[in-house]
Amino acid sequence: MSDLYLRLVNTPVGRTAAQSLGLPAPAPLKRLKRTDQPFIEGKVLIGAANGGKAIATLGSILGASAATLHHASESNRLADSSKAGNKARPLDLASDINQQFSALVFDATGLKGPADLRALYDFFHPTIKKLGSNARVLVIGQNPASCRKAPQAAAQGALEGFVRSVGKEIGKKGSTANLLWMAPGAEKQLDSSVRFFLSARSAYVSGQVVKVGKGNAAPATNPVAPLTGKVALVTGASRGIGAAISETLARDGATVIGLDIPPAMEELEKVTSAINGKALACDITDDKAPKLIADFIEEHFGGVDLVIHNAGITRDKTLGNMPEHFWDMTIAVNLTAEELIDEELAKRELMKENGRIVCISSISGIAGNFGQTNYSTAKCGVIGYVEAMARQLKNGITINAVAPGFIETRMTAAMPVTIREAGRRMNSLSQGGQPVDVAEAIAWYCSPASNGVNGNVVRVCGQSLIGK
């Protein structure tokens, strides 16, 4: 459904009215237009606190981009910024900066204690106002859980609060801020995440923290179609977010098995036929569903690389008024079915090496929601499942989750207008997301280069003002 308010406030008359009334004036988000689009263009400023471990890797990644790269200079606390490589030009942060940046990238892995946090101020204070619209802020830190000393853990943990606050300050321009917590020695695993968070693919992802571990060495892939040769199973694929996931994975080269309930087969076949995929009719709550799915995969493909647990339902009632079948069905579809399908695929060894499992949680699972005790319970259970499975999976298989916020779908279009408008504006970007925003995050998880991304829950919500 079209966001009429967003369109209105981006006209001269509407913008003036919004300013005079103190209303939000969100900027239209720039999303991916073509698959060969550079992940970042324009001018990018990179900096590092002294002792930074990721600066050379970041310089290498950005040096290979279409951007013009600068590094911070003339600051004692940022001296290691010069290690970004010879493609980065020095920029004196004490001088008048007459440039506009499409991204600010900072290596904070060298922070050893609270006093070192001053490096954040020295880098961002003179530059944050120089960000253009739809710009990116990306900070790389060290996972506090891996820090041996408390002061270092405090400094690294502080980055989360910093990034979330920056995201709220720059969101009105359609800009985002995110944090990568890198495990020691995981520099080589940064590539896919840096590219995602600096690109138009992450337009509706802000204020998020992603843990990047060592993982297996990333194989060489076609950057335009990195999922070539992969087989993907997408549940709930007939429309909305599921259809967008199917289309995005197919765009990136995967062969998609779209699954949905039998009554949705007509819509499902339209989706799968358009992407040369296969349609499978199945009620995932049926006792025979895991075996049926596994049999289909084994017969047609011999195995599966990517499993996307997208199918979900809501059955809303306050707890005291909720019939038991509302509770049972919501838990069965949104949580139990995922576990049983994964167990069957694992038991029959149909999940291929370096495979990917992606589950769909929800903001409701993080913050809770009135009248959704069943749904919130299930979606929070998904998070617990992902975190536990991430520690158990072997053979390079990873599992992660996305937690969508307000996404423009048929369901949200049917909401009363006041609730719909409130949902759209209650995030730092002051607008709803699109199904493709969820799909792009899943495609990043599924990338062969994302081996180090495991056990994460990323909110695709424009940095919702509720929840963590």
Dump pLDDT digits (tens) for 154-194: 999 999 999 999 999 999 999 999 999 999 999 999 999 99
47-73 burial, b if ≥16 CB within 10 A, otherwise e? bbbbbbbbbbbbbebbeebebbbbbbb
Mean pLDDT lowest for which of 126-135, 173-182, 305-314, 363-372? 363-372
Nearest to 454 by CA among 126, 162, 115, 193: 193
pLDDT for residue 164: 97
pLDDT for residue 467: 66
What is d(CA 345, CA 467) in angstroms, rounded to the nearest whole number? 33
Place of tokens 């930074």: 52
Burial of 39 (0-12, 13-18, 19+ CB in 10 A): buried
Mean pLDDT of the chain: 94
pLDDT for residue 232: 98
Between the two ends of the chain, the Cα-to-Cα distance in Å is: 27
Write the DSSP assignment of 349-360 as a string of letters: T-EEEEEEEEEE
- Looking at domain 42-212, its CATH architecture is 3-Layer(aba) Sandwich (3.40)
Phi and psi at residue 101, in whole multiples of 5°?
-105, 145
Nearest to 279 by CA among 224, 236, 317, 313: 236
CA diameter of the chain: 68
pLDDT one-digit tens code per residue, 232-289: 999 999 999 999 999 999 999 999 999 999 999 999 999 999 999 999 999 999 999 9
Mean pLDDT lowest for which of 52-56, 134-138, 312-316? 312-316
What is d(CA 255, CA 401) in angstroms, rounded to the nearest whole number? 21
pLDDT at residue 2 greater than cutoff 80:
no
Residue type, 450: S
Phi and psi at residue 193, in whole multiples of 5°?
-75, -40
Mean pLDDT of 322-348: 97
Q: What contacts 91, CB < 8 A, 6 or more positions away?
A: 45, 70, 71, 72, 73, 97, 99
Q: In the chain, which residues fall in CATH 3.40.50.720?
A: 42-212, 231-460
Q: Grade residue 10 by pLDDT with cuts at 50, 70 and 90.
A: confident
Nearest to 173 by CA among 71, 69, 101: 101
Count CB atoms within 10 A of the CB of residue 99: 13
User: CA angle, corner 459, sides to 142 and 467, nearest 5?
Assistant: 95
pTM of the model: 0.95
What is d(CA 201, CA 186) in angstroms, rounded to the nearest whole number? 23
Q: Grade residue 220 by pLDDT with cuts at 50, 70 and 90.
A: confident
- Please check whether residue 438 is in contact with residue 404, taking contact to mean a CB–CB distance below 8 angstroms: yes
Q: Grade residue 468 by pLDDT with cuts at 50, 70 and 90.
A: low
Write the DSSP assignment of 419-455 as a string of letters: HHHHHHHSBTT-S-B-HHHHHHHHHHHHSTT-TTB-S
269-283 burial, b if ≥16 CB within 10 A, otherwise e? bebbeebebbbbebb
Phi and psi at residue 275, in whole multiples of 5°?
-115, 15
Q: In the chain, pLDDT over 90 holds for what percent of residues? A: 86
Task: Report the DSSP pairing between strands 231-235 and 304-309.
Answer: parallel
pLDDT at residue 93 greater than cutoff 80:
yes
- Please check whether residue 104 is in contact with residue 137, taking contact to mean a CB–CB distance below 8 angstroms: yes
Catalytic residues: 375
pLDDT at residue 409 greater than cutoff 90:
no
pLDDT one-digit tens code per residue, 424-462: 889 999 999 999 999 999 999 999 999 999 999 999 999
Mean pLDDT of 30-49: 95
- Indicate left, alpha or beta for 213 from its phi (over 0: left) and psi (-120 to 50: alpha): beta
pLDDT one-digit tens code per residue, 202-215: 999 999 999 999 98
pLDDT one-digit tens code per residue, 280-296: 999 999 999 999 999 99
pLDDT at residue 14 greater than cutoff 90:
no
- Looking at domain 231-460, its CATH architecture is 3-Layer(aba) Sandwich (3.40)
